[in-house]
Chains A and B, each alone.
Chain A
């Protein structure tokens, strides 16, 4: 009894201010909450419901006059030849693009962190510039570079006596070309993050390693990489999420062609929304969302758990 009494008293005594505090708190949170519910949660929920119907653009005046098809949209996805093709393309893009970008970004960061002290700013700007350049401008420049007869790449190849192919016009080369371009475009961002991660590694670890006679490679392998684990996780997750939604490059460079070799899942979703297949496109979007969540979890498992195990 005595134990309950103080609690009851405080509750009664403080209920006024607490209510007010809650009201103030909600008051501050209200602008965001309202915007979030109206412009994000609402449409997200609506599209989830849409994915279980056969809603098409012709139904917009009467959106409830549609048939509920259950999971049929999701089943149809796996019978859709183009979707399977797009999924494979996206998987290739992620599997090759993410490691390539990360290795290039880390290499650039290591270079800037150790050697090039004089021109560090110049290089930093140089590597970061593609990140802040509009994709449209990048696309135009790259199309010129890759032009079959007059492009710079072709001219360089000719200098060494090679005859360059039509990079974006061949179905076996278009996707690799876009992967290289995406890596070039995104490595600056990763470089900045890696640079911050590298500078946070305490110097005494390297001193200790050197005293133990560790070579440069051994220092990198046993000091730098383990210390960079959180940075790697962050960069990996961000890059994977970004590359899974691979869209701008094919849109402005190849329009998904030739022979759908650069069609990505996002591009396919975009097309399907364009065709007015709202229900089907929503189902595809949710599948992509699930894939992103699963791959992010995988990254966390890969990098976080081994850290905990080593402790």
Chain B
């Protein structure tokens, strides 16, 4: 007993000693970027990339090394599953690579750790990129990376159902969109006009509701704080909810049933990113669908996601790293990257190549990218997104009122805060 008490005292003492060093500094505002040395890249450059990007990036790295013979790029593929924690650990231990691919919604969190290097304005030009994509790198007014590839959301529509419904041109406004979805169900013979919730769970449903909010002139947050309960947002929620109330959208679609049901014509339409072109082709639906742009109100804004490239403060070869990033942002390299793994270019000029501009499906995505937004890059975004998902679920499945959902979203987002 006595020894325990002594051990306890030691622990408390150690804790007190450790905590006397505690206390937050006042948050820093904008951060200035340092220029990058001129000339070719030299030395070792270590890069982490996830998923297919990680497996195939060495193709571009080889080209880069041919142009910069004194540089040696080492690419380490990292699985997406553990990537977030691996990056967080690397930043904490100050054992980072020079460059890494970073999911757009993680930028706020990692920039806030102080582990990312501000984008050098002399090397990277903001105007070269799609605005919505560029904004994913901006945290507290400073850009901490560059968009590498992008994706945005359009409505995939079953062509046969649309033809039966007598729809000849994609709907332009919310009202047209609503009557088109009704027609897909009543005249087109689809069991469900549209599927709006991700199958299996409501996780990620913020990606399908926020475009309506943005299109209606609302936003997640403005300079003054969260605006999830603005009148524009409430109106958008009500519009979204009406598809569920009127039996146009399923409330609980089981996993892995979306694509088969869509191709069979049981589901008329669903919003998704460019990867669904490939998924539908694989399931034998190559020419069975068409794409609609987001319907408009104040604007016709979609969601933009993708991946950003960032250079770390603890990089051993900062200049070489930024040169590699700048190389990956060159329009011709962006086009080659599309040809390698079908990642859509984040650089506007990358779309000039006929491989992209000549493809009607892809150019639909390219057109939507001109009007696409991302959520604010704040460290707490994932948590706020989960809160929005929860309220959207309550609204669509349990019949909560849009006003109440808006109030709950706003209240939960405010209590979570921006992590500043």
Where the two chains meet, the residues of A that have a C-beta atom closer than 8 Å to any C-beta of B are 45, 49, 53, 56-68, 82, 143, 147-149, 166, 168-171, 254-260, 271, 274-277
Output the least CB separation between A159 and chain B (Å): 21
Whether A257 touches B201, Cβ cut-off 8 Å, given contacts A66-B22, A68-B22, is yes
Q: Does B109 contact A (CB under 8 A)?
A: yes
Q: Tell me if B15 and A258 are in contact (CB < 8 A).
A: no
The one of B24, B91, B201 in contact with A60, judged by C-beta atoms closer than 8 angstroms, is: B91
Give the dominant DSSP class at A's interface. loop
Complex-state Cα separation, A63 to B91, whole angstroms: 12
Q: Which residues of B contact A275 (CB under 8 A)?
A: 380, 382-383, 386
Output the least CB separation between A84 and chain B (Å): 14
Q: Tell me if B18 and A49 are in contact (CB < 8 A).
A: yes
| 5 more A-B residue pairs beyond the given contacts A276-B109, A277-B383, with a C-beta to C-beta distance below 8 A | A61-B94, A148-B254, A258-B393, A275-B382, A275-B386
Q: Tell me if B91 and A49 are in contact (CB < 8 A).
A: no
Complex-state Cα separation, A286 to B19, whole angstroms: 20
Q: Does B285 contact A (CB under 8 A)?
A: no
Give the 8 A-B CB pairs with smallest separation, nearest first.
A169-B252, A60-B92, A58-B112, A275-B383, A64-B21, A255-B201, A257-B201, A58-B379
Complex-state Cα separation, A256 to B88, whole angstroms: 25
Give the dominant DSSP class at B's interface. loop
Whether A259 touches B22, Cβ cut-off 8 Å, given contacts A58-B112, A271-B386, is no
Q: Tell me if B419 and A56 are in contact (CB < 8 A).
A: yes
Q: Which residues of B contact A277 (CB under 8 A)?
A: 383
Q: Does B23 contact A (CB under 8 A)?
A: yes
Q: Tell me if A64 and B22 are in contact (CB < 8 A).
A: yes
Name the residue on B nearest A53 (C-beta): B22
Q: Which residues of B contact A143 (CB under 8 A)?
A: 254-255
Q: Tell me if B254 and A169 are in contact (CB < 8 A).
A: yes
Q: Which residues of B contact A271 (CB under 8 A)?
A: 386
Q: Which residues of B contact A62 (CB under 8 A)?
A: 114
Q: Tell me if A57 and B109 are in contact (CB < 8 A).
A: yes
Q: Tell me if A61 and B379 are in contact (CB < 8 A).
A: no
Q: Does B25 contact A (CB under 8 A)?
A: yes
Q: Tell me if A68 and B397 are in contact (CB < 8 A).
A: no
Q: Which residues of A contact B202 (CB under 8 A)?
A: 257-258
Name the residue on A nearest B114 (C-beta): A61
In the assembled complex, 20 residue pairs joining A and B whose CB atoms fall closer than 8 Å, in A order, are A57-B113, A58-B109, A61-B91, A61-B92, A65-B22, A65-B25, A66-B23, A67-B23, A143-B255, A168-B254, A169-B254, A171-B398, A256-B201, A258-B393, A259-B393, A271-B386, A274-B382, A276-B109, A276-B379, A276-B382
Name the residue on B nearest A45 (C-beta): B11
Interface centre among B91, B113, B382, B394 (most CB of A within 10 A): B113
Complex-state Cα separation, A246 to B393, whole angstroms: 23
Q: Which residues of B contact A260 (CB under 8 A)?
A: 390
Whether A259 touches B398, Cβ cut-off 8 Å, given contacts A58-B113, A148-B254, is yes
Q: Which residues of B contact A147 (CB under 8 A)?
A: 254
Output the least CB separation between B10 and chain A (Å): 11
Name the residue on B nearest A257 (C-beta): B201
Q: Tell me if A49 and B15 are in contact (CB < 8 A).
A: yes
Output the least CB separation between A262 and chain B (Å): 10
Q: Which residues of A contact B89 (CB under 8 A)?
A: 60
Contact bitstring B84-126, A, C-beta under 8 A = 1, else 0: 1000110110100000000000000100111100000000000
Q: Which residues of B contact A64 (CB under 8 A)?
A: 18-19, 21-22
Q: Tell me if A258 and B390 are in contact (CB < 8 A).
A: no
Q: Tell me if A56 and B398 are in contact (CB < 8 A).
A: no
Output the least CB separation between B84 and chain A (Å): 8
Output the least CB separation between A81 and chain B (Å): 8
Output the least CB separation between A154 and chain B (Å): 11
Q: Which residues of A contact B200 (CB under 8 A)?
A: 255
Complex-state Cα separation, A171 to B398, whole angstroms: 9
Whether A59 touches B113, Cβ cut-off 8 Å, given contacts A64-B18, A275-B386, is yes
Complex-state Cα separation, A271 to B84, whole angstroms: 13
Output the least CB separation between B109 and chain A (Å): 6
Output the least CB separation between B409 and chain A (Å): 13
Q: Tell me if A258 and B201 are in contact (CB < 8 A).
A: yes
Complex-state Cα separation, A60 to B19, whole angstroms: 15
Q: Does B364 contact A (CB under 8 A)?
A: no
Output the least CB separation between A33 and chain B (Å): 14
Whether A258 touches B113, Cβ cut-off 8 Å, given contacts A58-B379, A275-B386, is no
Q: Which residues of A contact B390 (CB under 8 A)?
A: 82, 259-260
Q: Does B203 contact A (CB under 8 A)?
A: yes
The one of B15, B383, B393, B419 in contact with A58, judged by C-beta atoms closer than 8 angstroms, is: B419
Complex-state Cα separation, A275 to B419, whole angstroms: 11
Complex-state Cα separation, A143 to B199, whole angstroms: 13
The one of A49, A66, A255, A257 in contact with B24, judged by C-beta atoms closer than 8 angstroms, is: A66
Output the least CB separation between B90 and chain A (Å): 10
Complex-state Cα separation, A60 to B252, whole angstroms: 39
Whether A258 touches B115, Cβ cut-off 8 Å, given contacts A61-B92, A171-B398, is no
Q: Which residues of B contact A256 (CB under 8 A)?
A: 201
Q: Tell me if A258 and B91 are in contact (CB < 8 A).
A: no
Name the residue on B nearest A59 (C-beta): B113
Q: Which residues of B contact A255 (CB under 8 A)?
A: 200-201, 203
Output the least CB separation between A256 and chain B (Å): 8
The one of B92, B115, B383, B394 in contact with A259, judged by C-beta atoms closer than 8 angstroms, is: B394
